[in-house]
Amino acid sequence: MKTTSWALFTYPVMDIKAAEALLNRRAAEGWTLDRVYLGAFARFVPADTRSAWCVDWSRPGYSERPDYLALCADAGWTLVQKVGAFNLYKAPIGTPPIQTDGVEEARRFRREVLLCGLKSWAVLLGLLLVLAALWLLVSEGSWRSALMAVLLTNVGLTLLLSLPAILTGWLLWTGRLLLRLRQWDRAAGGPLPVPGQRSAGAAAWLCLLCRLWGVAVLICFLLDAGLHMRLSTALGMLIGSLLGLSFHQHRRDKEGRSPINSPINTVLNALILSAVLFAAFLTPLTDRLMPAPVLENKTFVSGAQREDQDFRNRSGLHFTDGPLYASASDEGSFGLRHQSWREETEEDFGTSYSVRRSWLGRPYLVPMGGGYLVDCYTARWEWLSRLVQDLLREPWYPPLEGYTDVWLQEADLGGGKTDSLLLLRSGKTVVMVETRSGPIPRSQVDRLLSLLSSDQEV
Amino acid sequence: MARKKLDTLTEQMYYVLLSLTKERHGYGIMQYVSELTGGRVAIGAGTLYALLSRFEKEGLIQLAAEEENRKRYRLTDEGRKVLEEEFDRLRRQVADGVRVLREEDDHEND
């Protein structure tokens, strides 16, 4: 005989009656709710006596007030657990329901669901604002730089890849919400209709997927934090947060709870603390999650000395130089790896450099006289490499005759010097080479293409 | 404005105000209404709590005492007036009903 039974309990607020129906259905089958774990998985155990279940809104400053709970308890309803927006009550069979005024209940439901809908839209707007902020702050208004910055961070790439699904999901969700509101209006003061099991089940699975997506974004944030956030910034945020909480430690809400215990504060502080504590361990994973590097220890110019750009010198929470972090010269996301290095031949030694900014606003040196600056982008998918190629290619770059996906822009500087910029894509890799030691001979282009194709075959 | 919303009371509103002609706490109201109506009208705890909050906000009832998270309420003068008006309205409705329905009965008997 089974001693436990599990069910998914991630119903959205608009399906409150489906959550209540599940508990009562299980009660009719001889089960009683033991506990809902992680706010998602309901564990049922065999019941000694059958109970009636009621799911009520969990509304701060109202449904958890001691006098409200006392009134419910007097009426026979015992609060078993609070799960997200729901309060789960049980009572002996035959106890009048908690809500007996259909009109009032529908009005409350409408208000709560609309409030929740507005919050969801605010989150979506927030996501769009994050992307806009990246565009404005990181890339100084250049959409191509902004998009590149997004592609090179795990959070940015995750958000970008999921944006179409999010927008589609939100539209479907809004349609479902409107349908519920219409059904409640039609109930006209009677009991509110219970959503169909299939519809509510699908919605619960979708909610679970949303939560998993949230966890994925959180992990991406931690992975990025190690690479892009300075240790001093993270510690400053943590100390600032703790100071803020200490100033408000005597404040209490209507239910007598301290803001220190509020879910938002807990999540924010856990996030910052995790960034500080775990970033050093998670950052090495970033390198492993990126697409495999190409052109490692190889040079564009045969026999030149290669000096990799060390991204770690300029930012990042780096406590260790462990073997896990294989390459300090790489930055990027699970979809795109960026390597950058300088090459100098013997003729170029002692050349002067100017300071430029990378896609993420980091300073780096560019040779003014001789030398080569090479940027290599390796994508996980070919469509992404095409996108990177389009982001890097200016419309006036002339294609190199006899080649596919190769562009060479050259300008005569006088004195036998040529300012050259080579951009090429081979499979999933895009390489850009800048030099004032030009012109770049075709043999070097062929050599680079050959190196790339042999690396990608490996 | 608030007064306007309560020109017509729902059945549950009426019985809650009626029960507060004497000082009672929440569960006492639920029991009294159930007894008074022979179980025909049952007021849920959530519905009652919302109604009491609303009546208190609109000045129809006032908090008389509170002990161990149980609040006792009683009608205010304003609440009494609203209840009396509702009672008169219902009595007129019943009188109209009696006049029309009894006349129909008399015609049928003739």
**What is the total residue count of chain B?**
110
pLDDT at B25: 94
Rounded Cα gap, residues B87 and B83, in angstroms: 6
Rounded Cα gap, residues A176 and A172, in angstroms: 6
Q: What are the tens digits of pLDDT across the range A293-346?
A: 888 888 888 878 887 776 654 444 444 333 333 345 678 899 999 988 888 776
Chain A nearest-CA residue for B39:
A96
Place of tokens 């605010």: A122
Does residue A42 contact residue A236 with C-beta atoms inside 8 Å? no
What is the model's pTM? 0.74
Q: Do B45 and A74 touch (CB under 8 A)?
A: yes
Does residue A115 contact residue A168 with C-beta atoms inside 8 Å? no
Chain B nearest-CA residue for A64:
B46
Decide if B49 touches A, using CB distance below 8 A.
Answer: yes
User: What end-to-end distance do the CA atoms of chain B give, in Å?
Assistant: 51
Q: What are the tens digits of pLDDT across the range A259-301?
A: 555 666 666 667 667 766 666 667 677 788 899 988 888 888 8
Amino acid, single-letter form, for residue A293? P
pLDDT at A320: 39
Rounded Cα gap, residues A453 and A451, in angstroms: 6
Q: Which residues of chain B have pLDDT under 70?
A: 1-7, 110
pLDDT at A346: 67
Bond from prior residue into A439 cis (ω within 30 degrees of 0): yes
Q: Do B45 and A67 touch (CB under 8 A)?
A: no
> What pLDDT tens digit does each residue of chain A (458 aa) get?
678 999 999 998 889 999 999 999 999 999 999 999 988 999 999 998 999 999 988 776 666 788 899 999 999 999 999 998 899 999 999 898 998 888 878 887 788 778 877 887 887 788 778 777 766 665 555 677 778 888 988 988 998 899 888 888 888 888 888 888 888 888 776 778 889 899 999 999 999 999 999 889 888 888 887 666 666 666 676 777 677 767 666 665 555 555 555 666 666 667 667 766 666 667 677 788 899 988 888 888 887 888 777 665 444 444 433 333 334 567 889 999 998 888 877 665 555 556 555 544 555 555 555 688 899 999 999 999 999 999 898 888 999 988 999 999 888 777 777 888 999 999 999 999 988 877 888 888 999 999 888 877 65
* CA distances from residue A271 to A14, A70, A129, A207, A328 in whole angstroms, order as listed: 29, 36, 20, 22, 25
pLDDT at A348: 59
Which 8-state DSSP code applies to residue A399?
B
pLDDT at A325: 33
pLDDT at A327: 41
Does residue A74 contact residue B26 with C-beta atoms inside 8 Å? yes
b/e code A295-327 from CB counts within 10 Å (16+ = b): beebbbbeebebebbebbeebbbbeeeeeebeb
User: Beta partners for A278?
Assistant: none
Helix-, strand-, coil-residue percentages of chain B, each rounded to 5:
65, 15, 25
User: Beta partners for A37?
Assistant: A41
Which 8-state DSSP code applies to residue A407?
E
Q: Do A100 and B26 touch (CB under 8 A)?
A: no
Does residue A239 contact residue A289 with C-beta atoms inside 8 Å? no
Rounded Cα gap, residues A330 and A307, in angstroms: 13
Q: Which residues contact A171 (CB under 8 A, 6 or more apart)?
A: none
Residues from chain A that touch B46, judged by Cβ atoms under 8 A, are 56, 63, 72, 98-99
pLDDT at A105: 80
Residues from chain A that touch B30, judged by Cβ atoms under 8 A, are 74-75, 96
ipTM above 0.90, yes or no: no
Q: What distance in Å separates residue A56's CA from the closest CA in chain B? A: 9
Q: Which residues contact A288 (CB under 8 A, 6 or more apart)?
A: A324
- Name every residue in A having a CB less than 8 A away from some CB of B: 56, 63, 66-72, 74-75, 77, 96-101, 103-105, 108
Rounded Cα gap, residues A142 and A136, in angstroms: 8
Question: Using CB atoms, which residue from A63, A96, A108 is nearest to B44?
Answer: A96
Mutate to test the interface with A, among B48, B57, B67 (most CBs of A within 10 A): B48
Per-residue tokens: A110 = 């409408």
**Orientation angle between helical segments A197-228 and A154-187, nearest 10 degrees:** 150
Q: What distance in Å separates residue B6's CA from the closest CA in chain A? A: 14
Rounded Cα gap, residues A194 and B60, in angstroms: 35
Does residue B58 contact residue B75 with C-beta atoms inside 8 Å? no
